Amino acid sequence: MRKIVILISGGGSNMKALVQTSRSNRWAERFGAEIAAVISNKANASGLAWAASEGIATTVVDHKAFAAGRSPQEAREAFDAALAAEIHRHNPSLVLLAGFMRILTPGFVRQFEGRMLNIHPSLLPAFPGLHTHQRAIDAGCKFAGATVHGVTAELDHGPIWEQAVVPVLPGDTADTLAARVLTQEHLIYPRAVERWLAKSSA
Ligand code: GRF
């Protein structure tokens, strides 16, 4: 059985959609793949309790635990090393970043490049980075959306697997636009994973 590991930092709504789709769409039977673990950098990530209630292994690798006595860069490297070790424990075929709010070092990414996907709440290459919805509104965009892409050392870059477009409506706030985009995220992330699993098992 091929293992999938999902990384979250908060509510994990994309992780929930992935878990639910993996079961409803029978990934184990169709692709020989299952979601084996959910890992978070935040002990209070509410997605952890939900994943555990679904019988999925959960682990916390707290990035704050690596700060003491280290420079910011050393702390980042130490956290990434611990996170990588925890991921490797599951020997995953695929790593999914789902609302994982950490910038990962090139050394970390190199260990998983080609088998690590991320979902970003904009139509990349437009609006990499943070506050994507407010930036789209401020720019006067008529459309916004989300992108599932392969993770590379360059932030929010990498090969695009899926995208979804939503309208930016008059009076939209970042929150109303985010909610409209998030609904689409929950559809395109599982779709992208199924395409990745089908392609990698061919
Ligand atoms: C989503 O907008 C996602 O695109 C971004 O983090 C937000 C929260 O995701 N990466 P989730 O609800 O934690 O899956």
What are the sequence ranges of the domains in the chain?
2-200
**Phi, psi (deg, nearest 5) at residue 10:** -145, -125
Confidence at 184, pLDDT banded by 50, 70, 90: very high
Give pLDDT tens digits for 138-157: 999 999 999 999 999 988 99
Give me the pLDDT at residue 46, please: 95
How would you list the strands of the sheet with 116-120, edge to edge? 57-60, 33-40, 2-8, 94-97, 116-120, 143-150, 160-167
Please answer whether residues 129 and 108 qualify as being in contact, where contact means their C-beta atoms are separated by less than 8 angstroms.
Answer: no
Task: Give the pLDDT confidence of 95-142 residue by residue, as tens digits.
Answer: 999 999 999 999 999 999 999 999 999 999 999 999 999 999 999 999
Q: Is the pTM of this model over 0.75?
A: yes
* Of the options 1.25.40.80, 3.40.50.170, 3.20.20.70, 3.40.960.10, the CATH number for the domain spanning 2-200: 3.40.50.170
- Which of the following is catalytic: 63, 88, 90, 120? 120
Which residue's C-alpha comes closest to atom 3 of ligand 1? 99
Return the pLDDT at 201: 83
SS3 of residue 94 by DSSP: strand
| 120 in catalytic set | yes
Give the relative orientation of helices 13-24 and 174-201 as an angle to the nearest 10 degrees: 40
